Amino acid sequence: MDNNTPNSRTARRQQAEAEQKSSRKQNKKPKKKKGLIKTIFKAVVIIGLLFFAAGAGLFAYYASTAPKLDESLLKDPLSSKVLDRNDNVIYTTGNEKRKYIPYDQIPKELENAILATEDSRFYKHHGIDLWRLGGAVLANLRSGFGSQGASTLTQQVIKNSFFTNEKTLKRKAQEAWLAFKLERNYSKEEIFEMYFNKVLMSGNKYGFGTGSEYFFGKELNELELPEMAMLAGMPQSPNAYNPFKHPERAQKRRDIVLRLMNQHDKITKEEMDTAKAIPVTASLLPEEKREKPMDIKFQAYIDIAMDELQKAGYKDIEADGVTIQTALDPNAQEAVEKALADSSNFESDTIQAGMTVVDTKTGEIVAVGGGRDYKLFNHNYSSDQKRQPGSSIKPILDYGPAIEYLNWSTGQTIVDEKTKGIKANNVDDRFKGPITMRQAVYESRNVPAIKTFEEVGSKNAAEFANSLGLPIKKLNQSDAIGGGGNDVSTQQMAGAFAAFGNEGIYTAPHAVKKIILRDGKTEINLSPDPVSAMKDSTAYMITDMLRDVLTMGTGKSAAIPGMDIAGKTGTTNYSADDKKRLNIGKNSVPDSWFAGYTTDYTIAVWGGHEKRNEPIVGFPGGRDMPKSLFRQVMRDITSGNSPKKFKKPSSVEEAPIVIGSQPLQLASHSTPLYLKSDELFVRGTLPESTYVEEEPEEVTELEAPTDLRAEYDADNQEIELSWKHNEPDSDDFDDDVTFAISVSVDGGGSQSLTETSDDSFTFGNVEPGHTYTFSVIAKAGSLVSSPASTTLMIQATEEKPEEEPDDQDQDDSDQDNVDDGQNNGSGNGENNSNNNNNNGNNGNNGNNGNTNNGNTNNGNNNNGNNGNNGNNSGNNGNGSDGNNSGNNGDGNGDDDSGDVSSNSSNNSNSNTASSSKPSATKPDDTTTSDGN
């Protein structure tokens, strides 16, 4: 018997009761869980019903306050007004004729294209597409309210007729209610007809019928599939997809429509691919056949204002009956249009220009130049034309960041030199060695700019440019001088440069200030907030260097007397391959820029052609055109109201520095003036070291022999050489001086004769009929002097002298080196330095104008004594006639006379001997040589 089994009936009953109680306890736990879930479910349902009730109530309230359906508003677009800064109306939208097309004349294929793009379930819903709405709700939960719309075509008709693009719950509720009512009062065909004729196509063109004629010059029934697809895709962003202005964007949008048509089985894949293969520009109206706009003032400005609204999300606000407040200054706009209309400002009829004028303090665009003979909603050269900026980008990518991030002074030393790893060259193909950052800026040196960029780093450079509104992406070395892949517009450059003139505060350039809705009370502010883009010290130091661009640098022709202006020039180049391939001249360029500013206005100007392969060929009206346009417009818009000068902030201090010092040193009273420059520093960053004048080392020089003479002894057939020499007057000099003598016969190679410590030498075995040139050089230890030389010609027989040629037949050997006027020191007023046969005339030249050239020893193989040449930066030398006494004829000048001067330490004689028997005369003259 099991020991655990109860052995009495009473015990067994008690055990059974205990087990039942335990079982009941265990069965109660699941009931508690089920009860909790049921409670939560009931709560959720109740809360959901409450939300639904609240939502329904709110919807009912919004619906009750919705505007009434007005058939005139449903069918006709509303006119909006555009105002200038003085609240004067400059443009009214919706005034141009609109072609109304009834439903039965709309091609079915065009309807399919529109519905596949805008509302593929149009004929299946009752104004609100719940399937589409569900997808939009999920998208908005993921990305925020308003991130994706669920508007049906019916809702779009309502919105375009009664509401703005404002994304609020109230508007969406009222829009849905009115869409439902519209579906109850009008047929689907009538609603589609409303949409078809009311939708904005571009600018102030409404309806697909108008768009067909405007873009293609065709009736609707003449349109091909690619043309229909392009029109069907435009309402999403009418101005952005304008094929006249943005053909690439228009083609991408058209191809999306074709894909949607195929996706919804409206066309086959083959039809889709065939249509995609046709360029969107293939059937557009040529420019000469396009509709001429009405006589509307300020068309280029209206264009950028409308584009700005599109980018802000107000794609068809022009049809909403609103008032658009702009920053347009009519006087400034007229000044811009006047400059662009003046053909004398341009080198050809085809060259173009774009210009943007902004308020330096607010960033408001007060005027634009959309191009020469600009037409409304065409290619706008102020905003649409984006090109390489050339050197105008240097303050933004190179020098600005160097001051902002590295605390460089305007006197920072940068070595302009040929550098490994830098392929670029300077425009003059020269290098200037150590120069200040200031000089590198105003002379627009390329190599220092690249070196600065590399010190700054591409990350800092991009960050600095981005803070100024430039969408800089990847940067490389060529971007440092504006030749990379980051193109910009005049609008962007004007905004960036304005920050330099506004103490480092950047406000994005903008034309539209606000939108006033139909009620006249509600306003939408579109003016961007100002942001600090850089320290005020950076802004002022860049400005101070850019002042010098107009006073002593590449932008002098943009300067206006008495006006404090800062600015930067820029020019881009073709590659060697492009020049060869396109047969472009050496000095031709694709783009020219100037961006400049005062405390009131900033103007950026671009010049060139729409197509980059069409070059600017000259300077006046070409490469210099942006500077000329800047000067003309700035002068006109500031007439009678000279702007204030730029003010140095307390964060900047000024101190004299030693030019070229590395690291930078402060100048002292002993610093030579030519080494001093007053430069700017970020306060607290002055150099600690100061210039200390070094004691000059005494340099011992060895003078050349003087008074070198050669006399011919016919009896012994010898030539006696003699000379004088002055030893160095120095306590440290104790070496013996010797003289190395060499000879050249008939212009042949020089032959060494001897080295002697005497001051004379006899040369034997002289043969008549030859010319002997002797050279004597002094030597002492490691010191060697310049040579002294003399020439003696020995003739065997007497010849009848030729007559001296007329002055007009004589050579003017310095002519090629003369820049300005000539001042000759010779008695006959010319530079006669060539000797002719049997003539013993010596004419010594003075100096030529502003040149530093001196020609010596130009003798012919026949008789004749050479005169001396001396030049001197525009000062007259003294020309003396040679004679048999052997006196020197000097051409002397000041210390700055150049590389060649006439003096007694470097002599050259030209002697001629002629008789019935071999003989010689004493030297007629002793002249100076350049050591050759």
User: What Rg value do the Cα atoms of the chain yield, rounded?
Assistant: 45
Catalytic residue among 80, 111, 118, 237: 118
3-state SS class at 387: strand
Quick check: 392 and 593 in contact, CB under 8 A? yes
3-state SS class at 202: strand
Scan for tokens 């006196």, then name that residue.
887
Quick check: 115 and 92 in contact, CB under 8 A? no
Query: CA torsion sign, 40 to 45 to 46 to 51?
Result: positive
Quick check: 466 and 508 in contact, CB under 8 A? no
| Closest to 383 measured CA to CA, from 248, 541, 240, 286 | 240
818 CB-contact burial (10 Å; exposed 0-12 / middle 13-18 / buried 19+): middle
CA distances to 33, 37, 60, 137 from 45, rounded to whole Å, are 19, 12, 22, 20
Quick check: 512 and 425 in contact, CB under 8 A? no
In the chain, % helix, strand, coil (3-state, to 5) comes to 35, 15, 50
| Distance from C-alpha of 330 to C-alpha of 159, rounded to nearest angstrom | 34
Quick check: 444 and 398 in contact, CB under 8 A? no
809 CB-contact burial (10 Å; exposed 0-12 / middle 13-18 / buried 19+): exposed
Amino acid letter, residue 561: P
User: Residue 617's Cα: distance from chain center in Å?
Assistant: 19
Scan for tokens 């000097």, then name that residue.
890
Encode burial over 545-576: b for 16+ CB neighbours within 10 A, e otherwise: bbbbbbeebbbeebbbeeebbbbbbbbbbbee
CA distances to 180, 240, 370, 642 from 355, rounded to whole Å, are 49, 21, 7, 21
| Closest to 761 measured CA to CA, from 743, 748, 747 | 743
Could you check whether the bond before residue 696 is cis, i.e. omega within 30 degrees of 0?
Answer: no
Quick check: 759 and 722 in contact, CB under 8 A? yes
Quick check: 262 and 289 in contact, CB under 8 A? no
| Residue 707 half-sphere exposure toward CB, CA atoms < 13 A | 9
| Distance from C-alpha of 499 to C-alpha of 852, rounded to nearest angstrom | 46
| Closest to 511 measured CA to CA, from 380, 646, 386, 340 | 380
**Strand ranges in 319-474 using DSSP code E only, listed in sequence order:** 323-326, 352-359, 365-369, 413-416, 433-436
State both tokens at 15: 């055990």
According to DSSP, residue 320 is labeled B
Beta strands 907-913 and 788-794, pairing class:
parallel
State both tokens at 11: 């015990």
Encode burial over 607-640: b for 16+ CB neighbours within 10 A, e otherwise: bbeeeeebbbbbeebbbbbbbbbbbbbbeebbee
| Closest to 591 measured CA to CA, from 568, 607, 574 | 607
CB atoms within 10 A of CB 369: 29
| Closest to 570 measured CA to CA, from 615, 622, 620, 623 | 623
**Strand ranges in 734-880 using DSSP code E only, listed in sequence order:** 738-745, 751-756, 760-763, 770-780, 783-784, 788-794
3-state SS class at 88: coil
Catalytic residue among 120, 237, 383, 391: 391
Q: Active-site residue 118, yes or no?
A: yes
Give catalytic residue positions: 118, 391
